[in-house]
Amino acid sequence: MSDRHDPPSVLVVDDQADLRRAIRRVLERAGFAVSEAGDGRAAARMFRRLGPDLVLLDILMPRHEGIEAIVEIRETCPGARILAMSGGGNFDAGEVLRLAELLGATGTLRKPFGNAELLAAIRRCLPPPRRLSAAASAGCINVDPIGSPVPQANPIPKS
């Protein structure tokens, strides 16, 4: 969960470990906090546990596809921000990405992509900076307020 002073958090999900690591390097250099998952099932579990600000999700994976993960994450948190990515594999990438949008992806990114294109797509999907993560602000995870300063809406003036 990101505090307003913490970097935005991104969960990168792809079955290709080399691609996950390359994306992680780009995102960390750009100031993001990054976690990784190798399939859709792990992504849904990690989303529930971590509540990242954004899930960067490959759609076509061998074990548990991104489409299934979108559905699971949306059931857990309808307000989750998901950036679906795909090269299409044996399918038309445009059709695969349109399906991802129909199921609730916030945005899409066609593989292959460059670093600037990746960062621009992520920034388009993220909301303006805020105190709570996307999952917390959408009410999808519990936030323990104990120990956190709570700003007063109408502070009492000193006399």
Q: What CATH number corresponds to the domain at position 121?
A: 3.40.50.2300
The percentage of residues in the chain with a pLDDT greater than 70, rounded to a whole number, is 75
67 inside domain? yes
- Domains: count for the chain: 1
Query: CA-CA distance, 33 to 128, in Å (whole number)?
Result: 16
Q: Which helix (DSSP H) or strand (DSSP E) does residue 36 occupy?
A: strand 33-37
Residue 145 token pair: 């307020």
Residue 27 confidence (pLDDT) above 70? yes
155 inside domain? no
37 inside domain? yes
Instruction: Report the chain's terminal Cα–Cα distance, integer Å.
Output: 38
What SS3 class is residue 9?
strand
30 inside domain? yes
The residue assigned the tokens 């006399």 is 159
Which pTM was predicted?
Answer: 0.79
Residue 150 confidence (pLDDT) above 50? no
